[in-house]
Amino acid sequence: LIVLRYLSKTGQTLLVTFVCLRGSVKVTEAVDMSRPMYWDRLDTPLPDKLYKDELSAAEKSLKEKEKGPWSQLTNEEKIALYRLSFHQTYAEMNQPKSEWKTVVGGIFFFVGFTALVVWWQRVYVYPPRPRTFDDEWQAKQLQRMLDMRINPIEGFSSKWDYEKGQWK
């Protein structure tokens, strides 16, 4: 009984040590989905919150300048203000992505892998092809069926002209 208790305590200690050793893995924060989030989507033109939450001193002064007349702002300042609120423009969101290359590459990979498996099965799994599939064997078999006049009403023999020695 004492030995079992000692072993269980030792096991618990080992487990705790193992978990502590694995503790170097970075833990991500849990995202609270009930809070407003930012994302660029074509179907949702105005996200729930701004793109940048924490502003630098220059960005704060630009936000103060935004409250005044916009005619005094330069184009660069207007673009900077836009980038504080949004990450991408509609033109940038509509640009074609290169994801199709990954999809085509994956398709080629799996087709190639399948071809490799089929080749391996033909070489190592399936037995050799029977001799009855050879063209010579098929020709001899057809000639034998004609010589035996098999199915003379509707079969091979009915389509063979025995006097001329050719197909009708």
> Which is more confident, 108 or 72?
108
| Confidence (pLDDT) at 8 | 66
For the chain, the structural domain boundaries read 57-94, 99-126, 131-168
> Which is more confident, 122 or 28?
122
pTM assigned to the model: 0.45
Report residue 166 CA to chain centroid gap. Answer: 58
Mean pLDDT of the chain: 86
